[in-house]
């Protein structure tokens, strides 16, 4: 496939004025009639043809101003319709008729069927699978949509905008008409039809307009949508209070479906969700599920302003809506929950996903300049690093400066299809700032490494930091320019107090933020009366890797005293990671791995500290993951050694803290009536963490089996099941618990996804056999993306030792799965393949096996563009 380049962007030669769609729904032969009114853009070539996009379409009718077009005036193919000889001056109407088969649509892009429901997914390029259309985000128009369908099977007929009216249509059918007055690109189009239950509510906006809120779910599941509704109302209110943004239609609808390629979709007024991110009750959803629902409901709602009212000019600008909207949903969750704990969870996720991507063959800039398949750019870099870049703008300009920039952005670009440059310019203009160097964050891939060296000179009372920045080479970008890196920092005295310097030279330093802009800067803090302990990159103010071999005692000091809670967590994590890396080395030398006294002391003191919120203590106890160890090694990674070293550290902590963990487990009220609020969730998280350590210390499944049996909510029950499965996979207690769980929840697909996942993530080489057996389970369903991700995805992304078997069997299993899924659902196949994005960091034996598996995929004929693009880049 040919790459698409940002440099080739041109506006369309025709302006689309209006869209009028009529759907006659049929499971296998849906008729789509599309009437489009265009006029030629001023100043463009009067001869230019109108080119419409298609994807696997057959044209069955084409009219110009209601008259048939002679065949010499157009050329048609499944992916393209070109019409020539169109009027130069006056508007004209094109009527296109196509027939499509929603039941045969296994890609889940365009119009498809899921559980008897008609549903659409149009981002990024799914609308062209419905009708020939200028399917690009800079073509905006108001839409009228008429839906005709069998009445008994489809009592509900939904589309974007406001409901215009409906009526009977012949003996068995009915129709409904919708009008969306807000001009939108085709990727925000949605249609849903079928028979669903509904949860209804209303919201009164700041200016007093009443909005009808409806969440549609399968009949019988209505009670499980209550939390989503609550999260929606809180999101609407928060966007008014914090960003001054009100909702703009009479109705806001969410539909939950069980077959969906991603999390959710922000279609104007009619969001479509993976039901995993809507449905929750205490017996079937964990605290993590509740937090995800809150975040994703908010995210999609926030897109109404950042994405829909202001959309992207082209798909290179994807971070304009995604990075910004992730930033907004992060801020929302931080305000609803604990800011520090939320930040820790975000950074964990950022490092696990984005830092891993940025360090491998799929690294790309937040704002790329070329792609072969846009679906492959819905990445951690565009979303999570995109959010971090927005956060840094807020750090650099301050709260008020950021707000001024956002207000100008909304004012200047409402109704536009905008670019990243437009966005940045608003912050510059509103603040009189120059963000040109800062903008490199959008254009340079790779995670910067900031090297820190410190020196204290007692006689002159000066503390000196030498800071170097280096950005690793990434595909297509061998060398980089220095960036503007905002580093929040503090200097701590011996009793933990903040030391205020009399002056700072060598860098701009304001409000506790040091602005690193050159490849090397020597920064001097004057008037420091004692050797300080440096707390740097507080709250993770910049998404960088620090190379700072800070003394163990200093890390312990920060873990105990830092005023920035994030940095306390970071200090504990640094201590633990050092022990784990030492452990990996010791194990390869035939020695034992262990935990340092400094780590044990800091960790147990934190775990016991009743003045700290339980959710924070739980985050500290989680310690770095095996993937964190692999990334820190950077090369020659042996997942078995990483696992063993991590386990040894956890084990040492467990033994040392056994009595404390028993007390914590008993004190966290795991049997109290369930409430999903953040502080109750934090207590459960801490109690569950204690149970994990107790299982290690005791080496016996009895306690986890008891916790499993006594649990009255999914958070506690599923954690107990995970402890059983992951620590005691062959115990009778584990077999019994897995069987009891299956018997109880076999009719609940979302819970059964957890059952598949917990088994897929059992460490060790034996799990591959389990995966093969589970693929034969009657409830395994290769057509349901959630189920595939729960088994194959969990195994390949979250089971380092099981997946990275030395003999390469894990890679071969994944390769076979990718080739199996690719013809049906290329998006799903391509995403699964990214599980191997870090293959170049593996030790040589596994690396060679991984490469063989990748080459076997690459040499398979007729790969989708999605898989081809990923595999070529992975091997490139
Ligand atoms: N904007 C949405 C992205 C999305 C998507 C992209 C490609 C294929 C299917 C998809 N489903 C949803 C989701 C979001 O970021 O809000
Ligand atoms: Zn989004």
Instruction: Spell out the SS3 assignment of 790-811.
Output: HHHHHHHHHCHHHHCCCCCHHH
- The atom number, within ligand 1, closest to the CA of 299 reads 16
Specify whether the CB–CB gap between 360 and 838 falls below 8 A. yes
Alpha-carbon gap, residue 88 to 779, rounded angstroms: 59
CB-based contacts of 400, cutoff 8 Å, min separation 6: none
Q: 819 pairs with which residues across the strands? A: none
716: Cα separation from own chain's centroid: 25
Which phi-psi region, left, alpha or beta, contains residue 569 (left: φ > 0; alpha: ψ -120 to 50)? alpha
139 located within any domain: yes
Residue nearest to atom 12 of ligand 1 (CA): 265
Shared-domain flag, residues 404 and 467: no
**Predicted pLDDT at 588:** 93
pLDDT recorded at residue 669: 84
Residue range(s) defining the domain that contains residue 779: 746-876
Q: Which of 319, 378, 387, 829, when mutated, tests ligand 1's pocket best, judged by the most ligand atoms within 8 Å of its CB?
A: 378
Does residue 768 sit in the same domain as residue 857?
A: yes
d(CA 785, CA 55) in angstroms, rounded, equals 22
Final residue in a domain of this structure, among 514, 549, 584: 549
CB 697 within 8 A of CB 654: yes
Q: Which of 264, 330, 829 to mutate to test the pocket of ligand 1 (most atoms within 8 A of CB)?
A: 264
217 found inside a domain? no
Structural domains in the chain (count) = 4
Catalytic residue among 33, 294, 300, 626: 300
Please list the residues that pair with 165 across neighbouring strands. Answer: 177
- The single-letter DSSP state of residue 382 is I
pTM of the model: 0.99
Residues 469 and 413 occupy one common structural domain: no
Q: Which atom of ligand 1 is nearest to the CA of 326?
A: 15
Measured from the Cβ of residue 225, the count of other Cβ atoms closer than 10 Å reads 25
**Residue 525 bridge partners (DSSP):** 463, 504
Ligand approaching nearest to the C-alpha of 263: 1
pLDDT the model gives residue 431: 99
Instruction: Indicate if ligand 1 lies below 6 Å from the C-beta of 265.
Output: yes
Final residue of a structural domain among 195, 211, 241? 195
Long-range Cβ contact pairs of 748-751 (< 8 A, separation 24 or more): 748/284, 749/258, 749/784, 749/786, 749/787, 750/275, 750/276, 750/279, 750/284, 750/285, 750/786, 751/284, 751/714
Query: CB of 583 within 8 A of CB of 648?
Result: yes
Q: What is the pLDDT of residue 670?
A: 83
Q: Are residues 9 and 136 in the same domain?
A: yes
Query: Tell me, what CATH number does 396's domain have?
Result: 1.10.390.10
Measured from the Cα of 307, ligand 1's closest atom is 1
Task: Give kind and range of the element (H or E) at residue 451.
Answer: strand 449-457
Task: Report the pLDDT value the prediction gives residue 671, as an integer from 0 to 100.
Answer: 84
If you count them, how many residues does the chain have?
Answer: 876
Q: Measured between alpha carbons, how far is 136 from 349 in angstroms, rounded to an integer?
A: 31
Domain assignment present for residue 508? The answer is yes
Which residue bears the tokens 């300009």?
A: 397
Q: Whose CA is nearest to atom 5 of ligand 1?
A: 123
Ligand 1 near 298 CB (within 6 A): no
Report CA 626 to chain centroid distance, whole Å. Answer: 20
Question: What residue has token string 């008994």?
Answer: 152
Count how many Cα atoms sit within 13 Å of the Cα of residue 120 in the half-sphere of its side chain: 33
107, 114, 265: residue to mutate for ligand 1 pocket, most atoms within 8 A of CB: 265
Atom 1 of ligand 1: nearest residue by CA position: 265
What is the number of the ligand 1 atom nearest to the C-alpha of 300? 16
State whether the beta carbon of 124 lies less than 6 angstroms from ligand 1: yes
Domain assignment present for 636 = no
What is the C-alpha separation between 451 and 487, in angstroms, rounded?
12
Is 299 a pocket residue for ligand 1 (Cβ < 6 Å)? Answer: yes
Instruction: Kindly give the distance from the C-alpha atom of residue 750 to the centroid of ligand 1, in angstroms, as a whole number.
Output: 20
What's the gap in Å between 299 CA and the centre of ligand 2?
Answer: 6
Residues 388 and 470 in one domain: no
Residue 239 Cα to ligand 2 midpoint, Å, equals 15
Q: What are the pLDDT digits (tens) for 519-545?
A: 999 999 999 999 999 999 999 999 999
Nearest to 520 by CA among 479, 455, 465: 465
Separation of CA 319 and ligand 2 centre (Å): 9
SS3 736: helix
Cβ burial of 576 (10 Å; 0-12, 13-18, 19+) is buried
pLDDT tens per residue, range 447-494: 999 999 999 999 999 999 999 999 999 999 999 999 999 999 999 999
CA 264 / ligand 1 centre spacing (Å): 6
- Does one domain contain both 506 and 408? no
Q: Whose CA is nearest to atom 15 of ligand 1?
A: 322
Given a contact cutoff of 8 angstroms between Cβ atoms, the answer to whether 433 and 508 are in contact is no
Using CA atoms, how far residue 242 sits from 25, 331, 588, in Å, is: 42, 10, 53
- Using the 8-state DSSP alphabet, how is residue 241 labeled? H
Name which residue sits closest to atom 3 of ligand 1, judged by CA: 265
CATH number of the domain encompassing residue 824: 1.25.50.10
Mutate to test the pocket of ligand 1, among 110, 137, 262 (most ligand atoms within 8 A of CB): 262
Ligand 1 atom 8: residue of nearest CA? 123
Q: Measuring from atom 6 of ligand 1, which residue has the nearest CA?
A: 123
Question: Quick one: which atom of ligand 1 is closest to the CA of 296?
Answer: 16
Judge if 68 and 162 occupy the same domain: yes
Angle at which helices 767-774 and 749-760 cross, to 10° = 150
Q: Kind and range of the H or E element at 168?
A: strand 162-169
Cα 264 to middle of ligand 2, angstroms: 8
Using H for helix, E for strand and C for coil, what is the string for 532-583? CEEEECHHHCCCCEEECCCCHHHHHHHHHHCCCHHHHHHHHHHHHHHHHHHH
Same domain, 374 and 475: no
| Two tokens, residue 674 | 């369930």
Domain CATH number, residue 530 = 2.60.40.1840
Is 658 part of any domain? no
The candidate with the shortest Cα–Cα distance to 94, out of 102, 108, 110, 83, is 83
Query: Residues in the chain with pLDDT < 50?
Result: none
CA dist 385 and 350 (Å) reads 7
Asked if residue 357 has its Cβ within 6 Å of ligand 1, the reply is no
Query: Whose Cα sits closest to atom 13 in ligand 1?
Result: 265
Determine whether the shortest distance from the Cβ of 261 to ligand 1 is under 6 A.
Answer: yes
| 127 vs 52: CA distance, rounded Å | 11
Half-sphere exposure of 422 (CA within 13 A, CB side): 20
Residue 307 Cα, ligand 1 centroid: separation in angstroms? 11
Q: Rounded to the nearest 5 degrees, what angle is found at the Cα of 531, between the Cα atoms of 526 and 534?
A: 85
Residues 104-111: contacts with CB under 8 Å, at least 24 apart: 104/28, 105/129, 106/783, 106/824, 106/825, 107/824, 107/825, 107/826, 107/827, 108/259, 108/260, 108/261, 108/785, 108/825, 108/827, 109/261, 109/827, 110/55, 111/23, 111/30, 111/191
Cα 849 to Cα 52, 702, 762, 853: the distances in Å are 44, 39, 22, 6
Q: Match 């299993």 to its residue by tokens.
A: 813
Is residue 846 a part of any domain in this protein? Answer: yes
394 token code pair:
């807020």
Q: Do 431 and 455 fall within a single domain?
A: no
Nearest to 523 by CA among 501, 504, 541, 499: 504
**229 within some domain:** no
**Residue 378 CB less than 6 A away from ligand 1:** yes
Domain holding 66: CATH number?
A: 2.60.40.1730
- Is 300 catalytic? The answer is yes
Q: Do 60 and 131 reside in the same domain of the chain?
A: yes
- Among residues 825, 29, 874, 840, the alpha carbon closest in space to that of 375 is found at 825
- Residues 646 and 494: their CA atoms lie apart, in Å, by 31
> Would residue 830 count as lying in a domain?
yes
Residues 323 and 347 in one domain: yes
Q: Whose CA is nearest to atom 11 of ligand 1?
A: 262
Does residue 462 share a domain with residue 439?
A: no
Using a 6 Å cutoff on CB, does residue 262 contact ligand 1? yes
Say yes or no: CB of residue 123 within 6 Å of ligand 1. Answer: yes
Backbone torsions φ then ψ of 727, nearest 5 degrees = -100, -30
The whole-angstrom separation of Cα 651 and Cα 599 is: 13
Last residue of a domain, one of 506, 534, 549: 549
Q: pLDDT of 395-445, one tens digit each? A: 999 999 999 999 999 999 999 999 999 999 999 999 999 999 999 999 999
């Amino acid at each position: 496939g040919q790459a698409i380049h940002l440099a080739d962007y041109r506006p369309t030669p025709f302006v689309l004025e209006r869209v009028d769609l009529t759907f006659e729904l049929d499971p296998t032969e849906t008729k789509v009639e599309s009437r489009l009114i265009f006029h030629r853009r001023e100043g463009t070539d009067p001869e230019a043809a109108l080119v419409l996009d298609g994807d696997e379409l057959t044209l069955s009718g084409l009219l110009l101003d209601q008259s048939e077009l002679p065949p010499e005036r157009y050329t048609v193919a499944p992916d393209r319709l070109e019409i020539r000889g169109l009027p130069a001056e006056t508007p004209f109407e094109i009527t296109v008729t196509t027939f499509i088969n929603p039941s045969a649509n296994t890609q889940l892009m365009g119009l498809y069927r899921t559980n008897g429901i008609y549903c659409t997914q149009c981002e990024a390029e799914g609308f062209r699978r419905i009708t020939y259309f200028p399917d690009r985000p800079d073509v905006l128009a108001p839409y009228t949509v008429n839906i005709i369908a069998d009445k008994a099977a489809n009592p509900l007929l939904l589309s974007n905008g406001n409901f215009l009216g409906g009526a009977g249509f012949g003996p068995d059918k009915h129709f409904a008409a919708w009008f969306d007055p807000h001009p939108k690109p085709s990727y925000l189009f949605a249609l849903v039809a079928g028979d669903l239950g509904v949860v209804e509510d209303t919201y009164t906006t700041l200016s007093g307009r009443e909005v009808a809120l409806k969440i549609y779910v399968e009949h019988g599941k209505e009670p499980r949508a209550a939390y989503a509704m609550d999260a929606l109302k809180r999101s609407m209110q928060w966007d008014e209070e914090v960003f001054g943004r009100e909702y703009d239609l009479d109705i806001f609808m969410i539909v939950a479906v069980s077959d969906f390629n991603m999390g959710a979709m922000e279609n104007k007024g009619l969001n479509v969700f993976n039901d995993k991110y809507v449905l929750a009750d205490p017996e079937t959803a964990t605290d993590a599920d509740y937090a995800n629902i809150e975040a994703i409901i908010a995210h999609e709602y926030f897109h109404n302003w950042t994405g829909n009212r202001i959309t992207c000019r082209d798909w290179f600008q994807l971070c304009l809506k995604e990075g910004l909207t992730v930033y907004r949903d992060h801020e929302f969750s931080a305000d609803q929950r604990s800011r520090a704990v939320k930040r820790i969870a975000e950074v964990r996720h950022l490092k696990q996903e984005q830092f891993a991507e940025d360090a491998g063959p799929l690294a790309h800039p937040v704002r790329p300049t070329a792609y072969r398949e846009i679906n492959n750019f819905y990445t951690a870099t565009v979303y999570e690093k995109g959010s971090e870049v927005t956060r840094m703008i807020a750090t650099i300009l301050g709260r008020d400066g950021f707000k001024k920039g956002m207000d100008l952005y909304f004012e200047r670009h409402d109704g536009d299809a905008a670019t990243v440059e437009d966005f940045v310019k608003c912050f510059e203009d509103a603040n009189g700032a120059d963000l040109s160097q800062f903008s490199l964050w959008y254009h340079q891939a790779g995670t910067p490494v900031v090297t820190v060296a410190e020196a204290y000179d007692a006689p002159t009372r000066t503390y000196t930091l030498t800071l170097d920045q280096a950005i690793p080479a990434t595909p297509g970008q061998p060398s980089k320019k220095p960036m503007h890196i905002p580093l929040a920092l503090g200097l701590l005295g011996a009793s933990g107090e903040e030391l205020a310097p009399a002056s700072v030279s060598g860098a701009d330093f304001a409000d506790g933020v040091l602005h690193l802009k050159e490849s090397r800067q020597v920064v001097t803090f004057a008037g420091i009366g004692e050797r300080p302990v440096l707390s740097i990159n507080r709250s993770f103010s910049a998404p960088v890797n620090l190379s700072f071999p800070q003394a163990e005692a200093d890390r312990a000091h920060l873990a105990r005293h830092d005023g920035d809670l994030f940095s306390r967590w970071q200090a504990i994590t640094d201590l633990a990671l050092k022990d784990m890396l030492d452990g990996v080395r010791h194990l390869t030398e035939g020695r034992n791995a262990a935990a340092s006294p400094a780590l044990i002391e800091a960790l147990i003191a934190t775990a016991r500290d009743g003045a700290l919120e339980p959710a924070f203590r739980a985050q500290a106890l989680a310690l770095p993951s095996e993937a964190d160890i692999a990334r820190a090694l950077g090369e020659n990674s042996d997942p078995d050694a990483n696992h063993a070293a991590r386990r040894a550290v956890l084990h040492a902590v467990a033994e040392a803290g056994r009595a404390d963990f028993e007390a914590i487990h008993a004190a966290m009220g795991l049997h109290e009536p369930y409430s999903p609020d953040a502080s109750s969730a934090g207590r459960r998280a801490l109690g569950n963490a204690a149970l994990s350590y107790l299982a290690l210390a005791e080496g016996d499944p009895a306690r986890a089996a008891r916790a499993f049996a006594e649990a009255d909510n999914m958070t506690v029950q599923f954690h107990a099941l995970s402890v059983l499965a992951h620590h005691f996979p062959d115990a009778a207690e584990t077999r019994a618990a897995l069987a009891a769980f299956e018997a109880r929840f076999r009719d609940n697909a979302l819970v059964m996804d957890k059952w598949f996942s917990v088994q897929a993530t059992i460490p060790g080489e034996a799990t591959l056999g389990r995966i093969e057996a589970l693929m034969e389970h009657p409830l395994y369903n290769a057509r349901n993306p959630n189920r595939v991700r729960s088994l194959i995805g969990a195994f390949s992304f979250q089971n380092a030792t099981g997946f990275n078997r030395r003999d390469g069997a894990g890679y071969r299993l994944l390769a076979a799965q990718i080739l199996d899924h690719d013809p049906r659902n290329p998006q799903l196949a391509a995403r699964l393949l990214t599980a191997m994005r870090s293959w170049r960091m593996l030790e040589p034996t596994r690396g060679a096996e991984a490469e063989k598996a990748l080459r076997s995929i690459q040499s398979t004929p007729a790969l989708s563009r999605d898989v081809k693009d990923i595999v070529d880049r992975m091997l490139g």
